Structure 1
């Protein structure tokens, strides 16, 4: 019997190429699974990347959750699988009814409604690697490959397990540095400052006996995508929609409109009442050149910081302080602000603001250390941000090429998927 010979495929650029030459349904990624940890800052990165890849309308969101209450607040540094095992053992020993439930202030932050995700954890499925991998295998012939995007330390084991269980059916992207064994993923997207431990300055700060435990242990390879800041959803289309939605409230305000975003202290960027007092003095100094000043706080902001700023600035005619009630004006602020003043702790808020091309001033960077300090140094070297001194003329406008990490990372994902012989649905 003579072998069957297929006709030669049409030349490149010919429209209407039959699916048999493109790999058919088996090569087209039409859907995405997001693995989150319940914290807006990390989940927003995954959702932003999926949005940039054009799959927002075909995404499913799962969450890795940790046990809460009692001794669990002391076990959050453990790998999530070990944490859950210890929680189960403790509950079996102590009895469920006698197990102490003490809720601390460190709760997962639910995504606000403008991010396109319902708020409660109960509305999302618990991430189960075996279940997701099985779904990817069983639906492969009908729906094609599955894009899996995960972000945050607690999602690493789930994402890598999905890749191990269904290697031929998924493309797995891990956002933020997974600490070790990067080959567990198809692509890793992480900020450049996560490689700060390899710099000579960091090596001087790390005791020799600890160096092997500090990640990363080696330079990035070809399947690592380095960004300046954090990925997010505040692209041009989102800002246009926000400009329309917030037009009636923000457009009439006197110009320049200056937005102040205040986060909260972190391990590598510590501050408290001292920064709040310094910031209020500096803001009072620049009010003369502001048309309007709007201040927003995050859920990490300490009460003492909030109280100081509210007391000193809350009654000024030019100042509006958001009370935390919905709707959240954050996207509207990004669209309508003429300039931003942002605390140094929040890489996410700074990344979003620097994506607008508008003036960004940073307060509190002198209180940061380690990779946070490296991040702020990089922002200033690229002309994306300046230190806030309180001596600025806020009517002075300056600009720069907007930070475009999310779109650039999405482009690298498309390239890597193409190298795999697949493509994203257009």
Structure 2
């Protein structure tokens, strides 16, 4: 059976009516999505959250772009991922590989070198490309610097079949993407204050130009935790958390970053302030992230581990993060984590932040925007946690999904119902 469909306002004819193209008036239905991730939880969760908001979680395929690890590779992460891979393959060449290349004057990596890790990523890229072209229109969602080259290559190889959404600003060659979703604070370098903080000849390296039409600006990071997810989590964690005394203060502790540096001083300030407000808490649950330095977690454990009102996650049992989001009455979060703050601020519950004065560059702009919105308050140790205050919850993920739907419609595309 011959089926005629329209993609990008141009007719495309397929002989097989079972393909993913389905005629709906002058629109083509997109039934699948491919997520390209760098493997980092923060980046991948943004992709998963957007795809979930679009209703395509049941039709998603995830590919990971990986870098070589071990040895000097940790010092080479500033290189483009393709260059990093090739350099690693060259350094892993055996003597016989080198001898063979010298004999034939070849600069192509031999099979033995490819088998040491590079071939697997090439095969994944090839499978991804084949599926993309073979099965009709697909939504590709990528996040993180390492995914840019792979995602844009797919768009270039199959421009009529790929609608490409890049999360986090790619910094250059914006025409490679159909849509870019990035926080407003990525443009901090364009502000008067931002330009004071960086030399003019370096601005082009780290500061994007003014937002183009296909750039969607958010306040924080996208995430997976919508009202439905939290309702399910509330039920799943009911037996463990429902009996805790109220109000429940959830404390999420991250780790220092280049733009939010801190150490034991902040840890001591945190526990000291918590001791001052514990009278107003029914219970406190504390969690550390994978980035939390041991010297920080040790201080918290030593100072608060024996308090009967305090529960500290040991990192061994099931991660309580989702249950904590659902059951918390208020949050206290270290300033380094944009993701954790974005998730907490999407609940509409009171969010206290500690350490924001230690943040610089675009992190300071992010905290300023949250405070202006009334979503966060600086934690001082003088709070009454039972006091509730309101603000418009962050809704970045749903708003970004709406923009994706609009952009797809402009191309004559609709999502699978």
Q: Deviations over 1:113-155 (max 9, x none)?
A: xxxxxxxxxxx98784443222211122xxxx10100000100
Which of 303, 315, 324 is matched with 1:312 structurally? 303
Which of 400, 411, 414 is matched with 1:420 structurally? 411
**1:95/1:290 Cα in 2 relative to 1: closer, same or farther (>3 Å)?**
farther
Counterpart residue number, 1:31: 32
**Cα distance in structure 1, aligned partners of 2:96 and 2:380:** 56
Asked whether the 8 Å contact 2:23–2:29 carries over to 1, the reply is no
Q: Are 1:138 and 2:130 counterparts?
A: no
Counterpart residue number, 1:82: 83
Counterpart residue number, 1:285: 276
**1:95/1:79 Cα in 2 relative to 1: closer, same or farther (>3 Å)?**
farther
Q: TM-score, normalised by structure 1?
A: 0.85
Q: Deviations over 1:367-418 (max 9, x none)?
A: 1000000000000000111111111000101111110000000000000000
**Cα distance in structure 1, aligned partners of 2:122 and 2:331:** 37
Q: Deviations over 1:270-313 (max 9, x none)?
A: 00111000100000000000000000000000000000000000
**1:366/1:390 Cα in 2 relative to 1: closer, same or farther (>3 Å)?**
same
Report the CA distance between 1:182 and its aligned residue: 1.1
Asked whether the 8 Å contact 2:373–2:392 carries over to 1, the reply is no
**Cα distance in structure 1, aligned partners of 2:351 and 2:195:** 31
Alignment of 1:68-217 (within 5 A): 68-92=69-93, 128-140=124-136, 145-216=137-208
Which of 366, 378, 393 is matched with 2:357 structurally? 366
Which of 293, 297, 306 is matched with 2:288 structurally? 297
Asked whether the 8 Å contact 2:47–2:167 carries over to 1, the reply is yes
Q: Secondary structure at the match of 2:381?
A: coil
Counterpart residue number, 2:17: none
**Cα distance in structure 1, aligned partners of 2:223 and 2:125:** 25
**Cα distance in structure 1, aligned partners of 2:267 and 2:397:** 32
Q: What stretches of structure 1 move > 6 A for 4+ residues in a row? A: 124-127
Report the CA distance between 1:215 and its aligned residue: 2.3
Q: Deviations over 1:178-206 (max 9, x none)?
A: 01111100000000001111111111111
Counterpart residue number, 1:22: 25
- Unaligned ranges ≥5, structure 2: 1-21, 98-119
Asked whether the 8 Å contact 1:129–1:161 carries over to 2, the reply is no
Report the CA distance between 1:209 and its aligned residue: 2.1
**1:399/1:95 Cα in 2 relative to 1: closer, same or farther (>3 Å)?**
farther
- Unaligned ranges ≥5, structure 1: 1-18, 97-123
Q: Secondary structure at the match of 2:165?
A: strand
Q: TM-score, normalised by structure 2?
A: 0.87
Counterpart residue number, 1:346: 337
Across the two proteins, how many residue pairs are aligned to each other?
A: 374
**Cα distance in structure 1, aligned partners of 2:47 and 2:314:** 28
**1:376/1:21 Cα in 2 relative to 1: closer, same or farther (>3 Å)?**
closer
